[in-house]
Structure 1
Amino acid sequence: MTDYGVALPAAADRLPELLEATVIAEDLGAGLVTVSDHPYLPSELDAWTLVPLLLARTSRVRVATNVTALPFRSPSVIAKGAATLQHTSGGRFVLGLGSGGPYDGLPGWGAQWPTLGEAIGALDEAIPLLRRLWSGRPVTHDGAYYRLRDATAVAGASPDPVPPIWVGAFKPRMLALTGRHADAWLPTNAYLSLDEVPAMQRAVDEGAVAAGRDPSAVRRVFNVMGVIDDDRPPRNDQLLVGSAGHWAEALTDYRERLRFDTFVFWPVRGDTRRQTELFLQTVVPKL
């Protein structure tokens, strides 16, 4: 079954819009609300502070980081925060996770690793470590990037369910680790060519098979940036622009040909509240 969500603005000057759009999304049946996690952007609020606010204002919709940049937070702190959010929300938190990017500017902001290659290696190590930290048992770990002694991130019972980990990935090494470890692949149309997607899907599949996993265990979630507007010239590339019918036709193709099972609408123009209404009331019913 296809699921639908929205990516909402984390900008400080759009906080009322974010809060109202979150409630609208839940009321109109969205399965997911996400906020970007760019701590290095001065215009954006901190996602890990916004997420509990959004969870507290809703009762059903899941809320995700889209996506957390691992180099700014240790796995033990991420695991503690995610476990806390699961306990306090009734299991509605989704951990979107990645290496951060574009990476060149991140070390200057305090990223833990000086190169993207090291950040990817750390992510490969961190995902299994996160799941161990959610087990409720003390974890001792002596890895290439992280060292822990008798650490646990769980206050009380282990989180139920364990927070799903969705990885934002585009290049071969990241796609392979997504297949190896992740619960979902979470790319964005603005950062790829649609023609590349079939090969990227195969890379995720191959990573899963090499790790002894069934590729179907990895959900395929697509961030779709664009705008729903009858008056704009239609586009279907690194932005999706046009009428509700144009959107429905494109998303059907993304589902049937490109194998995505979940779509997160990321409005790039206009009032997010109105764009959210248009997506859930005029596009989704056509699917």
Structure 2
Amino acid sequence: MPGAGRLPTVRTMSERRSLYGVALPASPRHFGRLVESARLAEELGADLVTVSDHPYLPSELETFTLLALLVGRTERVLVAPNVAPLTLRPPAMLAKSASTLQFVSGGRFVLGLGVGGPYELTPGFGGAWPGIGQAISALDEAIPLIRRLWGPESIDHDGTYFRLKQANAGPAPEPDVPIWVGSFKPRMLAVTGRHADGWLPTNAYLDLAEVPELHRRIDEAAQAAGRDPGRIRRVFNVMGTISDRVPERNDRLLNGSARHWVTALRDYRDRLGFDSFVFWPVQGDVREQIRLFFEQVHPHVGR
């Protein structure tokens, strides 16, 4: 219970296996390589395949449809939207979609969730709230509501942002669907700490020097809610390119040789506290980038 004995700010990850995954584009231009890339990643040892979710972009296909395709063409990897915008996907339908994907995949679905970004594009596509402040408050209400919708009984809900009557999003997912939140700013980090099973930020949108403070905000919000911060998985979307022919950098993008990537990911793990990584290739052939990551980077990062 909140306030009933504060938990120590310690995130113990020694008993949790690290996850390594890839982020694939939802672009119709690359559709022919989507399934091939997912299957290649699985073959090379990936734990997770994610697909970006920007329904308001005419240059992207609908992500949940693509995820349904991927769970039918893969056998082992987890699949996730990276990340679904609550503003365009109300909780009851998110819960129903997630429970269905968990059912048809045999338990391989993760619900990546956020408020949408760039946020200013969502109102024009029918987004529920004109301002991001309202959207964050709605997310705070939505995550516990989604979990209730996965329960055995139909529920009523009369909240600030959502109203449901005798609603149930069965079949109840088995196992429970993890919810990972993409967040960067204080209010979203607090929502993550209060409710999420995982934190899913992206290097392109944060300063690495700020990461310890962002962890602290999540930890404190978790403690205030009576949760163990160590149970929140820390998953880093890492955008960049693996190549000896690009200038090395490690800031909003990670570019450079495989050795440069190994050093950086070890630092993200050991110093910055991330336990899992999603490789998001931004240049070159996606399949070749995936091969380089799982053959020349992942085996040398360890744990």
Shared fold, TM over 0.5: yes
1:103 and 1:284 map into 2 onto residues whose CA distance is 33
Is 1:199 the counterpart of 2:217 in the alignment?
Answer: no
Is 1:230 the counterpart of 2:244 in the alignment?
Answer: yes
Is 1:248 the counterpart of 2:262 in the alignment?
Answer: yes
Measure how far apart 1:256 and its partner are. Answer: 0.4
Is the 1:40–1:109 Cα contact (8 Å) retained in structure 2? yes
Measure how far apart 1:16 and its partner are. Answer: 1.3
Measure how far apart 1:124 and its partner are. Answer: 0.3
After superposition, give the CA deviation of every residue in 1:111-170 in whole Å (9 maximum; x if it has no partner): 011110000011000000000000121010000000001100003xx2111110000000
Query: Which residue is 1:164 aligned to?
Result: 178
Is the 1:223–1:266 Cα contact (8 Å) retained in structure 2? yes
Measure how far apart 1:84 and its partner are. Answer: 0.6
After superposition, give the CA deviation of every residue in 1:215-266 in whole Å (9 maximum; x if it has no partner): 0010000000000001111000000000000000000000000000000000
State the one-letter code of the partner of 1:258: L
State the one-letter code of the partner of 1:273: R
Measure how far apart 1:105 and its partner are. Answer: 2.5
2:18 and 2:100 map into 1 onto residues whose CA distance is 28
Is the 1:83–1:153 Cα contact (8 Å) retained in structure 2? yes
Segments of 5+ residues of structure 2 without an aligned counterpart are 1-16
State the one-letter code of the partner of 1:252: R
2:98 and 2:121 map into 1 onto residues whose CA distance is 27
1:73 and 1:120 map into 2 onto residues whose CA distance is 14
Is 1:111 the counterpart of 2:157 in the alignment?
Answer: no
1:28 and 1:82 map into 2 onto residues whose CA distance is 26
Measure how far apart 1:73 and its partner are. Answer: 1.3
Is the 1:132–1:139 Cα contact (8 Å) retained in structure 2? yes
Segments of 5+ residues of structure 1 without an aligned counterpart are none
1:228 and 1:283 map into 2 onto residues whose CA distance is 9
Is 1:152 the counterpart of 2:168 in the alignment?
Answer: yes
Is 1:98 the counterpart of 2:114 in the alignment?
Answer: yes
2:122 and 2:298 map into 1 onto residues whose CA distance is 37
Q: 2:51 aligns with which of 21, 32, 35?
A: 35
Q: Structure 1 stretches (4+) deviating beyond 4 angstroms?
A: none
Q: 2:290 aligns with which of 256, 276, 281?
A: 276
Is 1:6 the counterpart of 2:48 in the alignment?
Answer: no
Q: In structure 1, the residue corresponding to 2:164 is in which secondary structure?
A: strand
Tell me the C-alpha RMSD between the 2 structures.
Answer: 0.7
Query: Which residue is 2:97 aligned to?
Result: 81
Measure how far apart 1:285 and its partner are. Answer: 1.2
Is the 1:267–1:275 Cα contact (8 Å) retained in structure 2? yes
- After TM superposition, the score normalised by the length of structure 1 is 0.98
Q: 1:267 aligns with which of 265, 271, 281?
A: 281
Q: In structure 2, the residue corresponding to 1:59 is in which secondary structure?
A: coil
State the one-letter code of the partner of 1:269: Q
State the one-letter code of the partner of 1:28: L
Q: In structure 2, the residue corresponding to 1:264 is in which secondary structure?
A: strand
1:161 and 1:143 map into 2 onto residues whose CA distance is 27
Is the 2:238–2:277 Cα contact (8 Å) retained in structure 1? yes
Number of residue pairs the alignment of both structures matches? 285
Query: Which residue is 1:217 aligned to?
Result: 231
Is the 1:136–1:153 Cα contact (8 Å) retained in structure 2? no
State the one-letter code of the partner of 2:253: L
2:193 and 2:28 map into 1 onto residues whose CA distance is 35
Q: Percent identity?
A: 62
- After TM superposition, the score normalised by the length of structure 2 is 0.93
2:146 and 2:210 map into 1 onto residues whose CA distance is 30
